[in-house]
Amino acid sequence: MGFLRRHNVLSAFIALVLLLASSIFFWASRQLHRIEPMLNARIVAALASRFHARVELDELHLSLLRGLEAEGRGLRIWPSTDVPAAQPMIALNRFHFHTGLHLTELAWMLARNQGTVLIPLINVDGARIDLPPHARFILKPPTQNPRSPAATALDFQIDKINFRNAVLILETDKPGKLPQDYSIDTLNINHVAPGQPMQFDASLRIPRPDGIVKTSGSFGPWQSGDWGGSRLEGNYQLVRANLAVFKGIAGSLDSSGHYDGTLRQLSVNGITTTPDFRLTHFGNSEALRTRFSARVDATDGDTHLEDVTATLGRSAFKVHGDILRVTSGGSAQGHDILLTTASMGTDRVEDFLTLAGSKPGTMMVGDLAFTATFHLPPGPMPLHLRMGIDGNFQLDNALFSNASIQGKVCELSLRGQGKPDAIPSTDPNSILSTMNGDFTIQNGALKLPNLNYQVPGAQMNFNGTYLLDGGAIQFSGTAKLDAKLSQMTTGWKSSLLKTFEGAVSRDGAGTFVPINIDGTWKKPHFAIDFGRLLRP
């Protein structure tokens, strides 16, 4: 009997507990169902007040399975402008957060429309942030009914927001410019408070050059009337970006640096390293390093290089100019690049010729000084056919890499000095050349309109063309040698040539010889232009 009494008491207690639990669950469910639309309205009102914009929220559901938490879907924040926007400014697919409150506390706050809801973390999966251009970014608070939930003292205090799989689109009102879009893998924001800068760290993919940027810094305070004027500062690191997205070049680029300013006027200072920079048409690679200072308009992708020190191989030179994003017919066409560059001290000509030369070596080596302007428009043609370069140069201590050419240079120099007997015993590489003049590169051809070339005993002036692809050469000019014609050879030839010295001694030279050069730089053909030689 005692056992039965104890069993009945236990059964009654369990039933009472179940009844109480069911009542609490029923009460909690009714409370959740009642406060969900209230919390939805308060969130919409708070965001509308924060952004001075129209806000829509499709769904908001509360749960008690893991404490009091909320999940929302379809949140959209529209800029309140006179012209309706085609896209919401912010669109979140799904967001989730813990309120940090008990159900009764939240219900009490919502019922009295006062207090602060503490949210330690909001997780957002799938977001599109579409920021309109400055001309359309004139936010106006929506007209509110005094009795509407927007006129509320209830506030939300958020500590962190973590975004995953987001897209940032920066629109521009500049004619002929398309929006800039960035794919953001992760974006973590801390210290989310009105009127205060927010701390962030992010990982995003940039399309040009193709790579992942890791960055951290601060953003804000948010400028409601001009988002492009919001403050932005931080550090970045770009690792192994693929330069092949720029037609005509290739290589793996690493970069790091610091940025500071606003999205429309961002100052960036950093370094880049590309150990395998190359022109894809030729395939030869050189190490390229830069230290730069630039102004970037993140809304349209335009970059203004203010001070760049670049090192190609062993050669250092200065660069400044503009890299402008070009569009046509509603689609991106690439970048229009216009740069001015000048050597710093003494560079090496082979560092530059390697990029546009045929393997295994370059046409020549030597000490180079130059100034030039460089223009590279976008287009489907290979880079060496699109680029245009105008400049002037001074080349000292030059040696031709081709042994046949350098041998002819040595012979020319010794004959010009009247030392033909020294030709067999002289090392051709002991004869160094000097060159200077203006140059242009257009349509894949290097043109030298006034090339001055000197070796001991001889001075030459040429006008000619060198094709970057294949190395074909075509030059015509004159050679002025110090020695007379008879002094350039020995034996009976010397005696015979004395007869012709009067015809070839002119312009203050011991010997004046018109020369044509054609063929390729590997197999050149030298010929005396007798038509010009015999001309009075």
Q: What is the mean pLDDT of residues 408-414?
A: 88
- The verdict on residue 256 lying in a domain is no
Average pLDDT, the chain: 79
> Distance between CA atoms of 116 and 112, rounded to whole angstroms?
12
Read off the pLDDT of each residue in 496-522 and give the average, rounded to a whole number. Answer: 73
* pLDDT tops 50 at residue 143: no
The reply to whether 324 falls in a domain is: no
The confidence score (pLDDT) of residue 168 equals 84
pLDDT at site 47: 81
- Find where tokens 């973390």 sit: 121
The least confident of 125-129, 195-199, 205-209, 347-351 is 205-209
Instruction: Please give the average per-residue pLDDT across 371-395, as a whole number.
Output: 88
Quick: pLDDT tens for 323-373.
887 765 555 567 788 999 999 877 898 888 888 766 556 788 999 999 999
- pLDDT of 178 reads 66
- Indicate the SS3 state at residue 304: strand
Q: What is the pLDDT of residues 104-124, one digit of tens each?
A: 666 667 667 777 778 888 899
pTM comes to 0.75
The predicted structure's pLDDT at residue 217: 94
Count of all residues that appear for the chain in the document: 536
| Of the ranges 1-5, 199-203, 509-513, the best mean pLDDT one | 199-203
Q: Which domain holds residue 420?
A: 402-533
Please give the average per-residue pLDDT across 289-299, as a whole number. Answer: 88
Detail the DSSP E strand segments found in 225-265: 231-242, 249-250, 252-262
Asked if residue 358 belongs to a domain, the reply is no
Q: What angle do CA 105, 109, 111 make, to 5 degrees?
A: 115
| Tokens (6 digits) for 221 | 């305070």
405, 387 Cβ separation under 8 angstroms: no
Between CA 13 and CA 20, with CA 14 as vertex, the angle to 5 degrees is 90
Residue 453 lies in a domain: yes
Residue 221 lies in a domain: no
User: For strand 116-131 and strand 249-250, is the pairing parallel, antiparallel, or unpaired?
Assistant: unpaired
Residue 229 confidence (pLDDT) above 80: no
When pLDDT is averaged across residues 446-462 and rounded to a whole number, the result is 92
Contact 506, 483 (CB under 8 A): no
pLDDT at position 149 is: 43
Q: Is the pLDDT of residue 409 over 60?
A: yes
pLDDT tens for each residue of 300-312? 778 899 999 999 9
Q: Tell whether 307 is covered by a domain.
A: no
CB-CB contact of 441 with 406 (8 Å): no
Predicted confidence band at 272 (pLDDT cuts at 50, 70, 90)? Answer: very high
Residue 471 or 476, more confident: 476
Question: Which range scores top for mean pLDDT: 140-149, 190-199, 434-443?
Answer: 434-443
* In the predicted structure, residue 377 carries a pLDDT above the cut 80: yes
Q: Which residue has the higher pLDDT, 182 or 239?
A: 239
Is residue 11, in this structure, part of any structural domain at all? no
Q: What is the mean pLDDT of residues 236-240?
A: 91
Residue 419 lies in a domain: yes
Q: Give backbone dihedrals phi and psi of 201, rounded to 5 degrees, phi first.
A: -140, 145
Q: How many domains does the chain have?
A: 1
The pLDDT assigned to 501 comes to: 63
